[in-house]
Amino acid sequence: MTRPSQPRQRPGRQRLGVIFGGRSVEHEVSVVSARGVMREADPERFEVVPFGITRHGAWLTPDETRARLARVEAGETRSLGEDAGAGVFATPDVTALLREMDAVFPIVHGTFGEDGTLQGLLEMAELPYVGSGVAASAAGMDKALMRAVFAAHGVPQTAYLVLADEETRAPSSDTIRRIEQELGYPCFVKPANGGSSIGVARAGSREDFGEALAGAARYDRKVLVEAAVTGREVECAVLGNHAPEPSPLGEIRPTTTFYDYDAKYLDDSAELIVPAQVDPESAERVRALAVRAYRALDCAGLARVDFFLEPGGDVKCIEVNTLPGFTPISMYPRLWQEAGLSYRDLISRLVDLAFERFEEVRSHA
């Protein structure tokens, strides 16, 4: 196997490609996160080069991206446009310019970004990139796979069942019986490959369940059904490769029944409390479990691990987000600020970790 023998870092400033936008429902959030990174990345160290992906998947050159961003800055739009594309290789200028980067920060949430596809592309391009590799990204995106990994590594979680294909369209009476006996109502119903609470519903009865299942099945062929947890929703930011560190905790206080899409992006109704007002012993347990979940999935760089802290003191891990929201006011950077690491230094640290992981993968090739 041949790999470039020269280290990629050039003298002078490092070229940091920021890939953002993309085909998921979190397109606009990604644009806000990327603008934060572009504005705040240390100008002494980085020359930031933007690579936008439109809502329908067209890759834009840095010049085109800057032109679209100017419209966002002017308040005319919040997205990079609707143009359809034929994939990254359809725009040779983009591939040629991407190859010039020293490192890449992919800030594309959801499918075709957070799920290992973009990471695979960057591996094939032999580019150091921020965040988890292909396997961790893919497992973090698929809640059915993620829960199986949790189970194998002793990460405490809610009781759940996975329904697939025909069972999501017409669950058998046996499945209904198991849901009612093993999980009970209310239960939570979610598409396995989701994010931003899209397709997530709380079902309080058998009738509700039918509706919730039909809703979730629109987004995926696999659906997760979970026992509902009560308690406080707390989150931990984890940073690192081999020796991942947990941040202080933050708490989400939704004003609706749960932290749904509207609360996340539309009405901003949920309160983010940093640091979470949790007793030190529980906080320590959650932090240790965050690191355990991170290692279980073999994450790299960063991930936000979300939990419920139940009234009796039990902790349940809900999910690992391998590319958490990264606007300057998002939970992940806020938790590190609380620990004394600024947004700017966090970006630098993530790029250091990207180089570290790249060298390590290379040393095993």
Binding region for ligand ADP (CB under 6 A): 158, 188, 190, 194-197, 200, 226, 228-229, 233, 254, 258-259, 306, 318-319
CB of 275 to ligand ADP, least distance (A): 19
Location of structure tokens 């990079």: 80
Residue 146 or 354 with smaller CB distance to ligand ADP: 146
Q: How far is the CA of 294 from the CAs of 103, 131, 148, 242, 308, in angstroms?
A: 23, 12, 14, 10, 16
Q: Least distance from C-beta 60 to ligand ADP, angstroms?
A: 27
Given the complex with ligand ADP, which of 135 and 185 has the nearer CB atom?
Answer: 185
- Residue among 209 and 259 whose Cβ is closer to ligand ADP: 259
Q: CA of 123: how far to CAs of 154, 169, 333, in Å?
A: 30, 37, 26
If 0-12 CB within 10 Å is exposed, 13-18 middle and 19+ buried, where does residue 179 land?
Answer: buried
For the CB of residue 47, give the shortest distance to ligand ADP in the complex, in Å: 34
CB of 39 to ligand ADP, least distance (A): 26
Give the residue at shortest CB distance from ligand ADP: 259
> Whose Cβ is closer to ligand ADP: residue 167's or residue 226's?
226
Compute the CA torsion angle 352, 358, 364, 365 (nearest 10 deg).
Answer: -160
Buried b / exposed e over 66-85, threshold 16 CB at 10 Å, is: eebbeebeeeeeebbeeeeb
Q: What is the smallest separation between the CB atom of 147 and ligand ADP, expressed in angstroms?
A: 10
Q: How far apart are CA 160 and CA 156, in angstroms?
A: 12
Nearer Cβ to ligand ADP, position 72 or 187? 187
CB-wise, 36 or 195, nearer to ligand ADP?
Answer: 195
Does the N-terminal peptide bond of residue 328 adopt cis geometry, omega within 30 degrees of 0?
Answer: no
